[in-house]
Structure 1
Amino acid sequence: MKHYRILIVIAGIGAFVAMGMGLPYHKERNLKVLPKDISDAKLDSIMDSYTVALGVKCNFCHVPVKQGSDSLDFVSDSDPMKENARGMMKMVIDVNKNYFYFDKNTRPEYLNVINCNTCHRGEPIPKEK
């Protein structure tokens, strides 16, 4: 009888752990330009395009977590380059929205008429011509 109770307790703990693992995980976000309902896949795709267009890595705009690990704190605004990037995103969205025809049903941040690579061409700071 005692073993039966232990087995029930272990099964109950296991069930709670399994339920917790099954819950959706919501990462904290700090989106000020891109839509708050953007999917993780679309957000990652956009961020990847920025790193390619500027020839940089994620740590160009994102700071390390304070605990000193190799992870980045994607929510933090402590690096001024992140706010600069937001300004550039707004500029690109504005240019695409106001100077090029686009489908009014498509969000302007998804347009690809001009993008970061138009000026940066793989350089963090665009070269003057």
Structure 2
Amino acid sequence: MKLKTIPVKINRKLLVIAFLAASISVTAAATINQPEPVHYENLKVLPKDISAHDLQSIMADDFEDGLGVTCGFCHANSKNGHGLDFVSDAKPEKEITRQMMRMTIGINKKYFKLKHPKIGNAALVVSCETCHKGQAFPDGKL
């Protein structure tokens, strides 16, 4: 017995509507899943809109490696005893760090003619590592 095949016509309008619906769904899903930008408090030298990646890079590569310290060197313990209070200015080392960042930015601007030097930028000629060489105190003394 021979079966007849019936050609199926695809309605162009239906195809366009389906494509648009799929496009809108994908776009909406991508928009919903985007993380909200992080807003850091108490940044006085670093840009207020710095990305989490850039901030982590500066803290780990510039400060931890350049000074041979961990986060607790500049950041105070939280009052509840769990972790660090990154907003607090309780430790004087945090303000000293800000002064050092301003100093290196100034040196790079004045002597090396960098127009917009930023902490963490590989183009900086003078950085934490220049003087500290992996030690918390450049001369090795307290």
Q: TM-score range, shorter-chain basis?
A: 0.7 to 0.9
Tell me how far 1:28 sits from its aligned partner: 3.9
TM value normalised by structure 1 = 0.73
Question: What is the match of residue 58 of structure 1?
Answer: 71
5+ unaligned residues in a row in structure 1: which ranges? 1-20
TM value normalised by structure 2 = 0.66
Does the 8 Å CA contact 2:39/2:48 hold for their aligned counterparts? no
Tell me which structure has the larger Cα radius of gyration: 2
Tell me how far 1:88 sits from its aligned partner: 0.4
| 2:81 aligned residue (51, 60, 68) | 68
Counterparts of 1:27 and 1:62, CA distance in 2: 18
Helix, strand or coil at the partner of 2:63: helix
Question: What is the match of residue 99 of structure 1?
Answer: 111
Supply the RMSD in Å over aligned alpha carbons: 2.1
5+ unaligned residues in a row in structure 2: which ranges? 1-32
The structure with higher relative contact order (CA 8 Å, sep 6+) is 1
Identity level (%) = 48
Question: What is the match of residue 91 of structure 2?
Answer: 79
Question: What is the match of residue 108 of structure 1?
Answer: 117
User: Which protein is richer in helix relative to its size?
Assistant: 1
Q: Does 1:88 align with 2:97?
A: no
| Alignment size in residue pairs | 105
